[in-house]
């Protein structure tokens, strides 16, 4: 919007969002609890001020203008836009997820030759598991080898499968170093 219109208001919104991203850069790598606390004290007031400013501005604009449409879109999706303020595990935007999906999108053509619908579904599940492991800084081969061994051997029962989710598996290794071997 700013690039095409050079709107001072659009520039103001960008600057307000840059402040949020600066806070995110500071807390990157912190625990979910620490991120949530920082966001509550620093980011939440900035986001509330932005919402107030957007609401005030949209009332001053022609309802069919592109800027009014953009503001209304943001306000109509406010709960989703501010989810990061209520859950420290959530990123401020979807860039991380989109980057992790890029190899899947680039390899989509290869999946056309998976042999069958079931083969394509298996490929998609495996790609999801590998990318989730990478997202949690796990070696996908070590993670999947251990998980599959636990399932096949019966060491992990069906009611315990949640323990094998990447984030739970990683946390269990952190608390019991001998389990990593």
Q: What are the CB-based long-range contacts (under 8 Å, 24+) for 173-181?
A: none
- Tens digit of pLDDT at every position of the chain (181 positions): 556 667 888 899 999 999 999 999 999 889 999 999 999 999 999 999 999 999 999 888 888 888 889 899 999 999 999 999 999 999 998 887 777 667 666 666 666 666 777 777 888 888 889 988 998 899 999 999 999 999 999 999 999 999 999 999 998 888 775 554 4
Condensed to tens digits (0 to 9), the pLDDT of residues 95-144 reads 877 776 676 666 666 666 667 777 778 888 888 899 889 988 999 999 99
What is the model's pTM?
A: 0.57
Q: What's the Cα-to-Cα distance from 39 to each of 18, 29, 75, rounded to whole Å?
A: 14, 14, 20
Find, among 92, 166, 108, the residue nearest to 132 by Cα: 166
Domain ranges of the chain: 2-85, 97-180
């Amino acid at each position: 919007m700013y690039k095409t219109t050079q709107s001072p208001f659009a520039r103001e919104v960008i600057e307000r969002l840059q402040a949020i991203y600066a806070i995110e850069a500071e807390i990157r790598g912190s625990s979910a609890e620490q991120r949530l606390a920082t966001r509550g004290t620093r980011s939440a007031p900035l986001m509330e001020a932005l919402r107030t400013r957007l609401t005030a501005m949209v009332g001053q604009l022609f309802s069919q203008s592109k800027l009014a449409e953009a503001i209304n879109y943001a306000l109509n999706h406010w709960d989703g836009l501010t989810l990061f303020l209520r859950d420290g595990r959530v990123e401020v935007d979807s860039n991380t997820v989109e980057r992790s999906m890029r190899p899947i999108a680039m390899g989509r053509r290869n999946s056309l030759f998976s042999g069958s619908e079931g083969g394509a579904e298996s490929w998609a599940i495996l790609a999801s598991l590998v990318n989730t492991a990478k997202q949690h800084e796990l070696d996908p081969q070590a993670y999947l080898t251990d998980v599959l061994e636990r399932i096949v051997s019966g060491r992990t029962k069906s009611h315990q499968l949640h323990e094998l989710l990447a984030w739970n598996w990683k946390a269990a290794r952190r608390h019991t170093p001998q389990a990593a071997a």
